[in-house]
Amino acid sequence: MWDVAVVGGGPAGLSAAYAAARAGARTVVLEKATHPRYKTCGGGLLGTSLAAVAGRIEVPADDRVDRATFTLDGRREFHRSADGPVLTLVRREAFDHALRRAAADAGADVRERVTVRGLDDAGGHVVVRLSSGTHIAARAVIGADGSTGVTSRHVGVGYAQVDLGLEVELPVPPPIQERWRGRVLLDWGPIPGSYGWVFPKGDRLTVGVIAERGTGEATKAYLRRFVERLGLSGIEPVHDSGHLTRVRAEDSPLRRGRVLVAGDAGGLLEPWTREGISFALRSGAYAGEAAASGDLGRYESTVETELGPEIQAGRRLLAGFTRRPGAFHAVLATPPGWRLFARFCRGEPVLVDAVRRRPVRAVLRALS
């Protein structure tokens, strides 16, 4: 009988395992893949993410960004720089591998190549059924196996927003590496609510776009034109992949009995940027602490208090951005707009504070 079983070995699951094991709970992690493994992800760490892993791992940074270029579907380009880094870029295989080591060092038993097939409520514990035909029992289960995983379905998580992200990892020669070192590009795209990015990671560039699901062909065309516009279309990608991101509905559950869901499994990410790493790290830690204490209900209230305001702010920003991306572009071009964006990247709760102000709310309502 385990105290805590964690399904999924990404940032949410490994944060949950780390927190639970550090609190003295007998903890096991069940991960279907083997670390280090590739994960489709921009890999941009906000200050919030850095704070969440401080003291746990040494972040395997490929670049630290202090400059940004912004375009509106390739037009109206402008550049901004900050006094110090605003974003840290990592390859997820290295980042997640570091989190795995930290969870194991804290005392969690991390088991790889283990696939979970189902969950059964057995009263005072949960039975976790494995594809091998065996099972394990735990007093609490934390689901961190993604928005289409077994745990999300078990809990009954509902989603209000689904987006398609497409991404290529391009190996680039030294002259191109130097051109992008310390700089990112954000492009507000031609599809309502869409945007693209270029993130430098040493000898690679991560180039991606994201847009609402249902616009698949247009999203593919956007990525193709974006890569061509950057002069990178002749480079064979190391990885060419896609994924769906899902944001939970406001009334969606995060727990069913002794099963909690964190990170993507709970639909916990910021709706405007679709940033999910910081939400995975924090929600995973909240879940691990609650499961170790036995007070499972505490998890839901903590998520609503700590993460709920950021998700609400993101919804309001997305609604305005979807209708008027040019207005957002113009605001970012101003010194106050850039300072606000840089502070957001560094982990300050500026977007939550901003949308609480009556004039800002009025502008966002007018835009959307």
Q: Which residue has the higher pLDDT, 337 or 110?
A: 110
CATH number of 162-246: 3.30.9.10
Q: How many residues does the chain have?
A: 368
Q: Is the pLDDT assigned to residue 358 strictly greater than 80?
A: no
Q: Is the pLDDT assigned to residue 111 strictly greater than 70?
A: yes
> 3-state DSSP call for residue 293?
helix
Average pLDDT, the chain: 93
- The whole-number pLDDT of residue 367 equals 61
Question: Per DSSP, which regions of 135-237 are E strands?
Answer: 135-143, 159-171, 183-188, 195-201, 204-212
- The whole-number pLDDT of residue 105 equals 97
Structure tokens at 313: 């702010």
d(C-alpha 338, C-alpha 352), whole Å: 16
Amino acid identity of 278? S
State mean pLDDT over 122-132.
Answer: 94
Q: Taking Cα atoms as reference points, which of 298, 357, 303, 13 lies closest to residue 5? A: 13
Residue 351: pLDDT band (50, 70, 90) is confident
Q: Which of 33-47, 158-172, 299-313 has the lowest mean pLDDT?
A: 33-47
Burial of 267: CB neighbours in 10 Å, binned 0-12, 13-18, 19+: buried
Burial of 246: CB neighbours in 10 Å, binned 0-12, 13-18, 19+: buried
Please report the DSSP string for 234-260 in residue order.
Answer: TSPPSEEEEEEEEEE-TT--SEETTEE
Q: Is the pLDDT assigned to residue 167 strictly greater than 90?
A: yes
Instruction: Read off the pLDDT of residues 183-242 as tens digits, 9 standing for 90 and up.
Output: 999 999 999 999 999 999 999 999 999 999 999 999 999 999 999 999 999 899 999 999
Helices (H), 7-135: 11-22, 47-53, 92-105
To which CATH superfamily is domain 2-63+87-159+247-308 assigned?
A: FAD/NAD(P)-binding domain (3.50.50.60)
State mean pLDDT over 335-351.
Answer: 88
Q: Is the pLDDT assigned to residue 123 strictly greater than 80?
A: yes
- The whole-number pLDDT of residue 240 equals 93
Residue 226 makes CB contacts below 8 A (sequence gap 6+) with 74, 187, 189, 196, 207, 209
Q: Is the pLDDT assigned to residue 359 strictly greater than 70?
A: no
State mean pLDDT over 270-275.
Answer: 94
Q: Is the pLDDT assigned to residue 73 strictly greater than 90?
A: yes
Q: Which of 45-59, 104-118, 318-332 has the lowest mean pLDDT?
A: 318-332
Helix or strand run (H / E) with residue 44: strand 44-45
- Locate the domains of the chain by residue range: 2-63+87-159+247-308, 162-246, 311-367
Q: Is the pLDDT assigned to residue 361 strictly greater than 80?
A: no
Q: Is the pLDDT assigned to residue 267 strictly greater than 80?
A: yes
Q: Which residue has the higher pLDDT, 177 or 368?
A: 177
Residue 57: pLDDT band (50, 70, 90) is very high
Residue 365: pLDDT band (50, 70, 90) is low
- The whole-number pLDDT of residue 362 equals 62
Q: How many CB atoms lie within 10 A of CB 40?
A: 17
- The whole-number pLDDT of residue 363 equals 60
Give the rounded percent of residues in the chain with a pLDDT score beyond 90: 86
Q: Is the pLDDT assigned to residue 299 strictly greater than 70?
A: yes
